[in-house]
Amino acid sequence: MVNEYTEDFLVQQTVANYFHDKLKWESIYAYNDEVLGENGTLGRASESEVVLTRYLRQALEKNNPGLPGDAYESAIKQVIETSVTKSLVQINKEKYDLYKNGVLVSFRNQKGVLEEKRLRVFDYEILENNHFLAVRELWVQGSLYRRRPDILGFVNGIPLVFIELKNIHKDIRRAYNENLSDYKDTIPRLFDHNALILLSNGHEAKIGTITSKFEHFFDWKRLEEEDKGVVDMETLQKGIFKKTNFIDIFENFILFDDSTGKPIKILARNHQYLGVNKAIEAVHNRKKRKGKLGVFWHTQGAGKSYSMVFFSQKIHRKISSKFTFLIITDREDLDDQIYKTFAGCGIVDNKKETVRASSGHHLKNLLVEHKAFLFTMIHKFNKDVDPKDPYSDREDVIVISDEAHRTQYGRLSLNMRNALPKANYIGFTGTPLFKDDEITKRIFGDYVSTYDFQRAVDDNATVPLFYDNRGEKLHLTTTDINEKIAQKLQDLQLDVDKEAHLEKELGRDYHILTADKRLDAIAKDAVQHYAKRWESGKAMLVCIDKITTVRMYNLIMEYWKGQVKETEKAIKSSIDEQETIFLQRKLEWLKETEIAVVISEEQGEVARFKEWNLDILPHRKRIKEGFETPDGKRIDMDVAFKNPEHKFRFVIVCAMWMTGFDVPSLTTLYLDKPLKAHTLMQTIARANRVN
């Protein structure tokens, strides 16, 4: 007699019924009912078989008709064979490559001539040519142990889906700790072919891969990007296992990345799948959109680089393999990060071919070669391009502009568009556009996909970002003093010497602006704020005087060390695989960033700084000598700071570099000094010069 309160009845049967009734998968209950043998329930000869060869052969014959039997047998053999010397993730990647690209077999045709051909295991175009089967409680015999997974999803006989279910009142973490881990130990061959793993208690459900820790399993909350989002089993099943969606995800939204030295399997998250597909639709409509594919805004930490890979890979598979993707950044570190992602995922191989343009001339030559992927920085377009003599007039070029709203203005961008007049443009960004940012929209079009801060926070995909008055937040506002000094400066329109006299005159107020507690709070806040914006460019902090700049430097360096430790700790406790890689790159950025003081020299400064227990000598030495370059030469500090590729990213000043000093990559400006009107405007302009 069936107990209607068992895990099987309450959860397992409900899930299986949904597969059958709603998603139209065939469904079989195998527990103690399976008949082994070629003509048995599933065609298995023994319980040790994890591939249903009966369905696999049928698929091979349907998708590759008219071949001799040896060809099909050779393909089946390659599919089911395994290795005891390779890791699970290595085997899984090899199987995935077979399924995605076809199984290479050799056979003699009717004329006796030896042929080679890749046989398709799946038909990615016509769903009806694939067989979808959900099997409940199938006994699987390992080398020593016998286990019975709750539900296995087979497509064309390949066990692509593993589902572990717990009773509705149980924490689904137990499905990972108590069941999945054991199955991977006892029947590992089942996971050679696995595409994705589902853990659920019938209501809450999470999805992951064979390399995912439990913390890396994620929700699938939306069927459309505009949906509010809900965590439940039905939404996940409908979103992932609807046949069209599943085949799409399996073909186009799985990656293997070894860029960190440890290979991991990446499955697109919900927002990536929905967003990339909207961008793909824009490519389909590129002529109607006149090459403006849109702005892809997914907030920081949401896997933007992986979305670029998913986007480009799907276009090559589903639209045309002839497209050349030109990935444009505005900073060397971003260029390195994105390139490492593509290389780590096996998309490009710099050892075999050159894909990173070192100059505009080099880029022009590479475009002629019709390479699939090219990487460069906007600053390589530093030579004016005659619109009548473009680098390429190809229409099958897609320019992916990273942090689009930072790179599309001015001469460099104009040169790029003159160089590639018929290219298609899409902007990827981690921050939103301003409401009046008509230039970005004019070049890229409106948003094609959005995944904003709040939604990412709601989905536990990233941390919230807040933009506000830093002084008010820290309760450190000195409005009266600021206005007093600034107003006098504006009224009198003083020169530098008179300004110094005025500062001395108002010296009684300086102790408020330069109090230890206040400077400590500002330093801590500036470091935390800039570290969150670590992909956003260079930063300048303006202090009230020279002594304060060095005091601030010492405080900032201490809090910077704290950020390094905090990021290292976050990596260890990361709850998302893609976020882990994001944090590892952030850690590298933190460690390599140069921070320095830039102040003018004055007579008697050594003694003056000693009065404050400060040493100006190491700062003066750096200001005079600059930075050493990899080839042993020196580069001046101003040149280094203007260079977006240089690691000198944070400067602390009080007067120098505030006027007449254009820094295209300066995007963050911290002001802690009262400024008169024109000086204030010129100082602010340090952060909005992008040409």
pLDDT digits (tens, 9 = 90+) for 450-496: 887 677 667 765 433 333 344 555 555 555 545 554 454 344 333 33
3-state secondary structure of 588: helix
Same domain (yes/no): 19, 100? yes
Same domain (yes/no): 205, 336? no
Same domain (yes/no): 128, 214? yes
Report if residue 557 sits inside a domain.
Answer: yes
Q: Is this model's pTM higher than 0.85 or not?
A: no
Q: What is the pLDDT of residue 601?
A: 87
Structure tokens belonging to residue 486: 């600034």
CA-to-CA separations, 585 to 17, 301, 415, 576, in angstroms, rounded:
44, 11, 31, 14
The torsion angles phi and psi of 293, rounded to 5 degrees, stand at -80, -15
List average pLDDT for each run of 10 residues in the chain, which is 691 residues long.
55 93 96 92 97 98 95 97 94 97 92 92 96 97 96 98 90 92 96 97 92 91 91 93 98 93 92 97 95 87 89 97 92 80 89 82 88 89 86 94 64 84 90 64 85 70 40 51 48 40 55 84 92 84 88 96 94 85 90 94 89 94 91 87 89 76 72 55 36 29
CB proximity list for 311: less than 8 A, separation 6 or greater: 276, 279, 280, 296, 400, 426
**Total domains, the chain:** 3
Q: What is the pLDDT of residue 467?
A: 32
The torsion angles phi and psi of 383, rounded to 5 degrees, stand at -110, 135
Structure tokens belonging to residue 267: 């499955």
Same domain (yes/no): 176, 146? yes
Report if residue 153 sits inside a domain.
Answer: yes
Same domain (yes/no): 587, 501? yes
Quote the DSSP letter at residue 568: H
Q: What is the pLDDT of residue 86?
A: 94
Report if residue 409 sits inside a domain.
Answer: yes
Report if residue 247 sits inside a domain.
Answer: yes
Report if residue 38 sits inside a domain.
Answer: yes
- Which structural domain, as residue segments, surrounds residue 144? 7-252
Same domain (yes/no): 398, 306? yes
Of 435, 458, 481, which residue is a domain's last?
458
214 alpha carbon, distance to own chain's centre:
20
Same domain (yes/no): 311, 443? yes
Same domain (yes/no): 411, 500? no
Q: How many CA atoms lie within 13 A of 225 on its CB side?
A: 18
Where residue 367 sits, what CATH number does that domain have?
3.40.50.300
Of 200, 223, 252, which residue is a domain's last?
252
Report if residue 262 sits inside a domain.
Answer: no
Q: How far apart are CA 337 and CA 334, in angstroms?
A: 5
SS3 labels along 1-59 = CCCCCCHHHHHHHHHHHHHHHCCCCEEEECCCCCCCCCCCCCCCCCCCCCCCHHHHHHH
Same domain (yes/no): 240, 389? no
Of 199, 223, 252, which residue is a domain's last?
252
Same domain (yes/no): 586, 654? yes
Which amino acid, one-letter code, is at 103? V
Encode pLDDT of 9-18 as tens digits: 678 999 999 9
Handedness of CA 237, 240, 245, 250 (dihedral sign): negative
Same domain (yes/no): 506, 413? no
> Cβ(282)–Cβ(293) under 8 Å?
yes
Tell me how far apart the terminal alpha carbons of the chain are, to the nearest angstrom: 78
- What DSSP string describes 423-449? -EEEEEESSPPPTT-HHHHHHH-SEEE
Tokens 């490009």 locate to 348
Same domain (yes/no): 474, 433? no
Report if residue 604 sits inside a domain.
Answer: yes
Report if residue 263 sits inside a domain.
Answer: no
Ranges of beta strands (E only) in 494-537 are: none
Encode pLDDT of 87-96 as tens digits: 999 999 999 9
